[in-house]
Amino acid sequence: MAGIKRHLMLWGTGKPGAELSAEGAATVVLENPEHLSTLLGSDLVGPRSVVFTPGHAEDTDTPQGPVIAGYEGSLSEPGAECSLGTDFYLQIQNYGISAYMSVVGPTLIRVADEMDQSAYLADADQARQAGDFPDFLTNPVIQLADLPALGAGTAGDGPRRRLYADQDGVLSTAPGGARIGVLGEDTLEQVETRWLLSQAAAGQGPAAERPWLGRYLAAVGAVRDLRARGLADVKVSGFGGRLGAAAASVPADEAMDTTDALLPLLLWSGESAFVHDPASGRTFGLDPVAAALAEVLLVAGSVAAGSVYADRAGLEQVAAYFADAGITLCAAGDSARELVTAGH
C-alpha cells in the first residue's frame, strides 16, 4: 500500500519520482472505470505502471501489465474525498478556502480557478517579502497539487510520469490540464508530442512575472519537512530576511539564491539551523557558525565572492563539507567548484 500511495501523491503533485520505465506512464488515473480495458489495450501503460480506477475491488497485478488500484470518490473535484481501501483517505480542497478549513488528514490542495490563483500568488508574495508562510500550506499532511503549473517547472513532468483520463477519455497530465489526446485513439508518443507542444505554447505561466516561484515552492516543502520533525516558527533565508549579518550585507541585486529551485535552502528555528537540499530531500543540522558561513556561500554564490563578507578559510571548509556529501552550495558554476576543490 505504501508504494501505491506514493504513486498517487506523485501523480497529484507532479513531483519527479522514481526512475521511469521505457514502457507506458508511471501513474494513470481514470475517472471512468469503463475505460480500463481500453487503457490496458494501449501503449499508455506498461508492466511497471500503476493505474487508479474507480470502484475496483482490490489492488491486483495483471499477468503482463500494470498494477490496478481501486479507489472510491474523486481525485479531481475540490471538496471531494478519495479513499484507497479502508485505511487511506485523501481530501481534495480548493486553495482559496483551505486557510479556513480544519485539517483532518492527508489533503491535496488544488489551485482550481482565478480566485485560487490570486490567493496562491498573494501568499507567495507575502512569504517572499515578510517571511510568513501560510500555516495550512506547511502542514505536514498537506500537499499542493500540480506543482509544475504553479511555478515549479516541468522538468521531470509529462505523460510518461503521469496521465489523467476524464469521464470522456480526454487525456491530460492532471485535472484541468491541457488536452493532449484521447484514450483509445492516441499513442504515448503522440500524447507526449502534444504535451511538449502545449508546454511550449503555455510559456512560463505564473513564473514569468515571479521567476522565484519555484524556489518558494521548494521553501514550502522544506518548512513542511521541519514541521514534521516537530519544529515551529521556521524561517527561510531569502524570504523576509537572512539568518546572519554577513549574508544580509550582500546587496539584494547581487544575491545568487533568489530563483534556483534546486539550490539548497538555509532554514532556522530558534537556535537550530539547517541546510535543506530540494533535489535529494536531505536536511543537515548546523551549528550557528557553520550556518552563517553556509548562508554566505548560498547568497554570494562562490567562495571568492563570499570572502568579501566572511572568513575565506571557513567558507572553504563548509563548502568542502557539503561537497563531500554530494551537495553544492555555490551557484556560480565551474569557477565556484574549482575554488571548493582547491580549498578541500
For residues 186-195, give the mean pLDDT: 96
pLDDT grade, residue 343 (50/70/90)? very low
| Per-residue model confidence as pLDDT tens digits over 192-242 | 999 999 988 877 778 889 999 999 999 999 999 999 999 999 999 999 999
- Residue 29 pLDDT: 97
Residue type, 32: N
d(CA 9, CA 295): 32
Closest CA to 166 of 156, 157, 176: 176
The residue ranges of DSSP E strands in 55-196, in sequence order, are 60-61, 67-73, 81-84, 88-94, 107-110, 142-144, 162-165, 170-172, 181-182
> Given a cut of 60, is residue 335 above it in pLDDT?
no
> Given a cut of 70, is residue 334 above it in pLDDT?
no
d(CA 227, CA 72): 30
The secondary structure of 263-313 as a DSSP string is S-EEEEETTEEEEEETTTTEEEEE-HHHHHHHHHHHHH-SHHHHTTTS-HH
Cell of residue 107, nine digits: 489533503
Q: Three-class SS of residue 73?
A: strand
pLDDT grade, residue 10 (50/70/90)? very high
Cα–Cα distances in angstroms (integers) from residue 332 to residues 207, 238, 285, 328, 337, in the given order: 22, 17, 24, 10, 8
- Residue 249 pLDDT: 97
Phi then psi dihedrals of residue 230, to 5 deg: 95, 5
Closest CA to 243 of 187, 284, 202, 286: 286
Beta strands 67-73 and 81-84 are antiparallel
Q: Where are the domains of the chain?
A: 2-208, 230-343
d(CA 308, CA 284): 25
Q: Ramachandran region of residue 302, left (φ > 0), alpha (ψ -120 to 50) or beta?
A: beta
Q: How far, in whole angstroms, is CA 67 from its chain's centroid?
A: 25
pLDDT grade, residue 21 (50/70/90)? low
Cβ 69 vs Cβ 85: under 8 Å: no
> Given a cut of 60, is residue 329 above it in pLDDT?
yes
Cβ 77 vs Cβ 105: under 8 Å: no
Closest CA to 329 of 338, 57, 320: 320
Bigger pLDDT: 277 vs 22: 277
| Per-residue model confidence as pLDDT tens digits over 36-95 | 999 999 999 999 999 999 987 544 455 667 999 999 999 998 888 999 988 899 999 999
d(CA 47, CA 125): 43
> Given a cut of 90, is residue 15 above it in pLDDT?
no
For residues 2-18, give the mean pLDDT: 86
- Mean pLDDT of all residues in the chain? 90
The secondary structure of 191-252 as a DSSP string is HHHHHHHHHHHHTTGGGGT-TTHHHHHHHHHHHHHHHHTT--S-EETTSS--SSHHHHTS-G
The residue ranges of DSSP E strands in 38-186, in sequence order, are 50-54, 60-61, 67-73, 81-84, 88-94, 107-110, 142-144, 162-165, 170-172, 181-182
> Given a cut of 70, is residue 333 above it in pLDDT?
no
- Range among 80-84, 99-103, 246-250 rated most confident: 246-250
- Residue 8 pLDDT: 94
